[in-house]
Structure 1
């Protein structure tokens, strides 16, 4: 009886692995465990299924990787160079955009004024617009300070594009400065934050739908 029960459990788990494999291949974006769970039924161990898939694909040309809270199939790192010729050439980010993105990634949540304090120069509205259009930066909330400035943070799309499982995988600040990506005076308390999960800090309020389209010149600068 126990043997039959174990066999049935094994069959169910194997079916769950196949279902998740199909879901991930069909999805253009990383999927979270909460996205996958409804397809497996109540009580399914989604994390165990994902770890099983990750182990199965570990040595293949396509690997299952984690991007923040999401999971996705991506080309193995050692084979990525073979596909670069097939990629569409995109316009490289300007130095201002790179510096702004780096500051947001390492010091989030931060306001435009705080970004400018680090860079030492004004940040144009177009720079933040470009990063948000790319899907790498999003408005998080409003700081509970005079002017109610908007705060910014990175997204899971940022992690996915740069091949990071979490923000803790970012290179150290010394490496960034050595590469010339950060030239301003960095705050003494600036450090790599925990992966962005969307949770607001105690000094932030959530954005209302009407806030999303507001002129950013009113973000407390």
Structure 2
């Protein structure tokens, strides 16, 4: 077997391994999850691109979720599987508003969420969003009191079919979908969502302190007089 044939066999094997790993995975996988199973010099980005092209017109597509990838039912066929979906209790208006604020304004503290909404944020609202896996604690703001900041998760992207948080609809798209009135003030704008690493005004949460921080946040939400 000459060198070209050997290279072709290794490349084919890498593609098959990648395909199998992503097909069997319960959640999206990133390059670091896949690398140990591939040959030493495998070009993971190129392999993923080839798989995406291979499945572009198939019943399932290889989609990107943040920096990770997963096989998902082709969007135009998703209606066929809706009858098998587990029925989920719809989010309350308060939860939807809170989720939207976190998605577009992240990183955001509970007090900042309340400032945008104009009302207090209850313990149950944050509970529901975090239990759904759509919202997570990001870090601590470098301000007095060191409040916890919140952001969206990979599960949020996956559930709503987004590659990255910047794919959230902008002002014109929201107007076109009828979700915003066309008679808005001239200075009205929709913030550009921020994604990725901690910002300059955030510090990471210590793993051992995360539970205590959440408990403190939620207790404060129950008793506004503690603010």
My pick for the range that moved more, 58-67 or 34-43, is 34-43
| TM-score when normalising by structure 1 | 0.89
- Find the aligned partners of 1:113 and 1:176 in 2 and give their Cα distance: 26
SS at match of 1:74: strand
Deviation at 1:176, TM superposition (A): 4.5
Q: Which runs of 4+ in 1 moved over 6 A?
A: none
1:12 equivalent in structure 2: 10
- C-alpha contact 1:107 1:190 (8 A) present in aligned 2: no
1:193 equivalent in structure 2: 193
The yes-or-no answer on 1:40 pairing with 2:38 is: yes
- Find the aligned partners of 2:109 and 2:173 in 1 and give their Cα distance: 24
**Number of residues of Structure 1 aligned to a counterpart in Structure 2:** 212
The yes-or-no answer on 1:137 pairing with 2:124 is: no
The yes-or-no answer on 1:158 pairing with 2:153 is: no
Distance change (3 Å), C-alpha of 1:92 and 1:155: same
| Correspondence list, 1:62-211, <5 A | 62-173=60-171, 175-176=173-174, 178-179=178-179, 191-194=191-194, 196-197=195-196, 199-211=197-209
1:77-113 Cα shifts (integer Å, max 9, x gaps): 0000111011111101111111111111111000011
Deviation at 1:202, TM superposition (A): 1.2
1:21-41 Cα shifts (integer Å, max 9, x gaps): 100111110000111011113
Deviation at 1:129, TM superposition (A): 1.2
Deviation at 1:179, TM superposition (A): 2.0
Distance change (3 Å), C-alpha of 1:65 and 1:92: same
1:117-136 Cα shifts (integer Å, max 9, x gaps): 11111111111111111111
SS at match of 1:135: coil
SS at match of 1:148: coil
RMSD: 2.2
> Comparing both chains, which one has the higher relative contact order based on Cα–Cα distances under 8 Å and sequence gaps of 6 or more?
1
My pick for the range that moved more, 159-168 or 203-212, is 203-212
Gaps of 5+ in 2: none
Deviation at 1:49, TM superposition (A): 0.8
Gaps of 5+ in 1: none
SS at match of 1:153: strand
- C-alpha contact 2:14 2:39 (8 A) present in aligned 1: no
| TM-score when normalising by structure 2 | 0.86
- C-alpha contact 1:30 1:70 (8 A) present in aligned 2: yes
Deviation at 1:206, TM superposition (A): 0.9
- C-alpha contact 2:28 2:69 (8 A) present in aligned 1: yes
- Find the aligned partners of 1:126 and 1:175 in 2 and give their Cα distance: 31
Deviation at 1:174, TM superposition (A): 5.3
